[in-house]
């Protein structure tokens, strides 16, 4: 069984290209079905899609890396050559190593961040629901979860981590002297916005608001922080009220355009606005970044802030990598053993056939009144002859090379003294 993986992430592909391959969790099932239908023999498949990465994992009789990459390129509306220039591809142990490192937070923009593990678990559940997860990928991901747990409990890889949310607060603090005078708008109500709202609320801003497509979810989040909720449709008319805007939705198109920001700046008499776009694809049109008095940061822009905390955790990386190595060796050993399963099944079936034949013969003899000891002796001899027949035939073969191979095998399987 072959395992292969390919993908793009924050280190290999620009944000706009990553945006073309961003799949919402409800898109994963139909996407996996389409992928498997496009490949021969419908291999096992799983799709991981976050703001920092899109990755496909497959398992089948033979690797189909090129076909998988071509399909992904087509789904994103780009040429295979363009995607290939930014993608990474891996097979077998390298694919397993990558999966274990990703789950452990070793491949994240924020070293050791725990959020990716939950995202992988969501992806695995979606693959199961799509009927795309088989024994091999199930083992791969279950082992990646175990490795990630050991990395987090045995090392300090996640200590002192600066999350994307904390990085956004740090940047805002560089622009605004007193966060207590800042009015903040959060666009969206998902996990990332909840994390950001928690960090910003700790700085006691002047006010906090949530703009979301559905008011019910927005109200639930706003109530936690004593903030107000507003409809997404009201955003253009109220944008000027806020000093800071943090956006992260699942929209496939920008929801804050250049014109809306220009009008907001005019009404604010060009008082500066701090904006963070954590969405992939973008929530805020990139042209906004060129405006004076606008300080717009994307997920990629936050990387530098995040990296400042990396040095203190590098000492734990070597220990974490050793745990990953052990996990990879264990998984590949399991894969190799799986290759012997058909032969083991055949051997067991043959042994059962011999046993059934000799027991049947023994029962007939007993039914005729034959001596029990004689019947047992005949049964044991019959089984022994059947088991040794192949080996003895090879030893008597005319081919010298065949006899030597048989002799070596017999020495190994039947004549070893240690048992």
Residues catalogued as catalytic: 51
**Distance between CA 222 and CA 200 in Å, rounded?**
13
Phi and psi of 357, rounded to 5°? -65, -45
Query: Which backbone phi and psi does 230 adopt, to 5 degrees?
Result: -140, 155
Q: Is 212 helix (H, G, I), strand (E, B) or coil?
A: strand
Residue 305 in tokens: 């802030």
Residue 213 structure tokens: 């497509």
Q: Is 273 helix (H, G, I), strand (E, B) or coil?
A: strand
Q: Are 275 and 295 in contact (CB under 8 A)?
A: yes
- Per-residue DSSP letter, 44: E
Q: Is the peptide bond before 281 cis (omega within 30 degrees of 0)?
A: yes
Burial class (CB in 10 A: 0-12, 13-18, 19+), 78: middle
Residues 6+ away with beta carbon under 8 Å from 159: 112, 312, 313, 316
Residue 389: CB atoms within 10 A of its CB come to: 11
């Amino acid at each position: 069984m072959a395992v292969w993986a390919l993908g793009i992430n924050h280190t290999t592909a620009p944000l706009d290209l990553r945006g073309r391959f961003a799949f919402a969790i409800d898109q994963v099932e139909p996407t996996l079905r389409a992928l498997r239908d496009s490949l021969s023999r419908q291999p096992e498949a799983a799709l991981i899609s976050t703001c920092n990465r899109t990755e496909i994992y497959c398992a089948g009789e033979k690797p189909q890396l090129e076909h998988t990459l071509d399909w992904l390129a087509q789904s994103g509306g780009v040429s295979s050559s363009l995607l290939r220039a930014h993608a990474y591809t891996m097979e077998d142990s390298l694919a397993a190593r990558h999966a274990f490192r990703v789950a452990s937070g070793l491949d994240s923009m924020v070293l050791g961040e725990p959020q990716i593990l939950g995202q992988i678990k969501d992806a695995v559940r979606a693959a199961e629901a799509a009927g795309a997860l088989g024994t091999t990928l199930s083992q791969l991901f279950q082992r990646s979860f175990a490795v990630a747990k050991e990395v987090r409990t045995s090392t300090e890889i996640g200590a002192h981590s600066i999350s994307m949310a904390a990085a956004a607060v740090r940047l805002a603090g560089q622009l605004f002297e007193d966060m207590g005078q800042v009015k903040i708008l959060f666009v969206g109500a998902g996990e990332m916005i909840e994390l950001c709202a928690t960090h910003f609320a700790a700085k006691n801003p002047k006010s906090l608001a949530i703009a979301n497509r559905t008011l019910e979810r927005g109200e639930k989040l706003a109530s936690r922080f004593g903030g107000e909720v507003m409809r997404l449709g009201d955003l253009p008319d109220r944008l000027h009220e806020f000093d800071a805007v943090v956006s992260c939705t699942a929209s496939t198109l920008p929801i804050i355009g250049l014109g809306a920001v220009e009008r907001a700046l005019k009404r604010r008499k060009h008082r500066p606005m701090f904006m963070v776009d954590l969405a992939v694809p973008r929530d805020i049109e990139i042209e906004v970044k060129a405006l004076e008095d606008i300080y717009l940061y994307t997920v990629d822009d936050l990387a530098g802030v995040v990296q400042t905390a990396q040095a203190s955790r590098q000492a734990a990386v070597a220990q974490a990598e050793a745990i990953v190595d052990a996990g990879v060796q264990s998984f590949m050993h399991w894969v190799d053993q799986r290759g012997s399963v058909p032969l083991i099944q055949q051997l067991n079936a043959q042994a059962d056939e011999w046993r059934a034949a000799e027991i049947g013969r023994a029962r007939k003899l007993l039914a005729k009144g034959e001596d029990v000891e004689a019947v047992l002796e005949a049964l044991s001899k019959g089984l022994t002859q059947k088991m040794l027949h192949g080996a003895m035939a090879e030893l008597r073969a005319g081919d010298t090379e065949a006899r030597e191979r048989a002799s070596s095998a017999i020495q190994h399987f039947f004549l070893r003294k240690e048992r």
